[in-house]
Copies of this chain bind each other. A is one copy, B any other.
Amino acid sequence: MMTEKNFRSNIQITVEKVRAENPMAPSITNTVTQDFVANAQLAVGGSAAMIYLPDEGETMAKVARAVYINLGTLMPFYAETIPRTLRALEKNQKPFVVDPVAIGIGNLRTEILMQMKNFKPTIIRGNASEIISLAKLWNLHEEDGGSVRGVDSTETVEKAAHSAVELAKFTKGTVAVSGEKDLITDGNVVIYSLGGSPLLSKVTGGGCALGGVMAIYLTVASPIIAAFTATAMFNCAGTRAAEKAKAPASFKMHFLDELYSINAADVAASEFAVFNAE
């Protein structure tokens, strides 16, 4: 792995490059948190667009530099939109972030997630329960755990570490697990990002917004740098917003403001810990 100095330097460059280049990362994402996803993408300096129809997905896979796919609210026609977008992403060799929200609920979601195994997402982002469930769905291990309650995790990040590493080894990409601590792994190293605020979990869509921002950073950086930069950015912004607000709605406002205002150097200086993957 790169040195800590190089790693921090890459984070700073990633934050600054996005602010300078205003890259677009279109999304297939749930209707509940589209506003938060788009506003977070804009706040960090990127640009947002939403995909619904199959040929829109194919066009976007050609013109965009990275795509975000979140399975939160599937509609019937997504049975065509998502597979066609995945094939176009593969054909055009474009990176993409997958968020397996609500894994285990409904047949269409399971079918799409099974297909997704063949396309090996560049970044997989989820909470602990989702990551454990996905590793199980893809038969990567046989461990217990991973019960999903709607969109919430019932497991700790540490418990998902093994599943995350297995998934990353399988995809040869990056896996990010969000929780009190946040874990990012490429299958070789496991990085924990510290900071943030529990208030973010009292606002709907914090995880979705994080996935959307990972896709923005993925337009200019490697998967592990993109996933870590987004996570560190969210943790720094969360820590600062929690100093200004004590309740969820004012917290969300300050949080988005911080995504826009925070120094790239401060994000690069954020606390983390690195371990070798088992």
Contact = CB atoms under 8 A, between A and B. Distances in A.
Nearest to A149: B24
A73 B102 contact: no
A48 B59 CA distance: 32
Would you call the interface of chain A mostly helix, strand, loop, or mixed? mixed
A108 interface: yes
B246 A261 contact: yes
A59 to B, nearest CB: 5
A47 B32 CA distance: 13
A43 interface: yes
Nearest to A151: B49
Contact of A247 (B32, B34, B249, B260): B260
Contact of A150 (B24, B30, B53, B203): B24
A257 B249 contact: yes
A75 B72 contact: no
Given A34-B31, A48-B151, A50-B73, A106 B55 contact: yes
For A36, A250, A255, the residue with the greatest tally of chain B CB atoms inside 10 Å of its CB is A250
Given A31-B34, A55-B107, A102 B257 contact: no
Q: Number of copies of this chain in the oligomer? A: 3
A114 interface: no
B252 A252 contact: no
Given A50-B30, A74-B53, A249 B252 contact: yes
A130 to B, nearest CB: 13
B47 A150 contact: yes
A218 interface: no
Contacts of A203: 39, 42
A50 B72 contact: yes
A212 to B, nearest CB: 11
Given A35-B36, A76-B77, A248-B43, A60 B256 contact: no
A150 B26 contact: yes
Contacts of A35: 32-33, 35-36, 204-205
B246 A56 contact: no
Contact of A254 (B24, B76, B151, B249): B249
A75 to B, nearest CB: 6
Interface in A1-57: 24, 26, 30-36, 38-39, 42-43, 47-50, 52-53, 55-56
Interface in A136-164: 149-152
18 contacts: A33-B35, A35-B36, A35-B205, A38-B204, A39-B204, A39-B249, A43-B202, A47-B151, A49-B150, A49-B151, A59-B105, A63-B149, A246-B261, A247-B256, A247-B260, A249-B255, A249-B257, A253-B253
